[in-house]
A and B are shown apart, each in its own frame.
Chain A
Amino acid sequence: ETGVTQSPTHLIKTRGQQVTLRCSSQSGHNTVSWYQQALGQGPQFIFQYYREEENGRGNFPPRFSGLQFPNYSSELNVNALELDDSALYLCASSYEPGRLNYGYTFGSGTRLTVV
């Protein structure tokens, strides 16, 4: 099966709660990256996993954490949710870090609203 799928598509959480977002990468893609896209802005890099190990991290606090599993699935966990965490969260997969002739394949995202 091709493509990247994310679940859920929409989510509403209360400030202080914890959330887990899920992503199923394209088969054969060993690299997954997570991005946060606030309204009117470009995607901001959260972190990247390669073969189940964190391979880079953007300017996000430790309450943003992730996991990558051998079956090409991954999770983004956010603890102690804040109102500013409201955004579209995008998952993107690729073969290997830096092998970018074909770019990343993105999912459609999870829209998280924190109230």
Chain B
Amino acid sequence: DQQVKQNSPSLSVQEGRISILNCDYTNSMFDYFLWYKKYPAEGPTFLISISSIKDKNEDGRFTVFLNKSAKHLSLHIVPSQPGDSAVYFCAASAVDMRFGAGTRLTVKP
């Protein structure tokens, strides 16, 4: 059961521009949404989260937006840097956490 979906397997952006990663979910019981970043041969690293009672959370270059009516969230990275190149996973949680399939972000110098 794919409760969390990332429909774009890959995204390529130029250094300094904005990266926008998207995620959709189906379960309205999710109360926390998170983004993780994963490099090869490492486990996912927590990046940023948002509670379902908020619609925006910002941390430095990273901002997560939540649209509950559309069951959609997005991660904005501004400005994008080559070191941001990784696979990004969207996750959603009620008691346990469910992940999307990931989007591979490539930031070109």
Contacts and interface: CB of A to CB of B under 8 A. Distances in A.
Nearest to B31: A98
Interface stretch (A14-22, A51-59, A72-80): A51-59
Contacts of A108: 41-43
Interface band, chain A: 20 to 34
B96 A56 contact: yes
Contact of A97 (B44, B49, B95): B95
A92 B71 CA distance: 26
B101 interface: yes
Contacts of A43: 44, 89, 99
Given A98-B32, A101-B49, A90 B43 contact: yes
Interface of B: 1, 4, 6, 31-32, 34, 36, 41-47, 49, 89, 91, 93-102
Contacts of B1: 59
B31 to A, nearest CB: 7
Interface of A: 4, 33, 35, 40-45, 48, 55-56, 58-59, 90, 92, 97-98, 100-109
Given A59-B1, A98-B31, A45 B96 contact: yes
A34 to B, nearest CB: 10
Nearest to A50: B95
B95 A45 contact: no
B102 A45 contact: no
A33 B93 contact: no
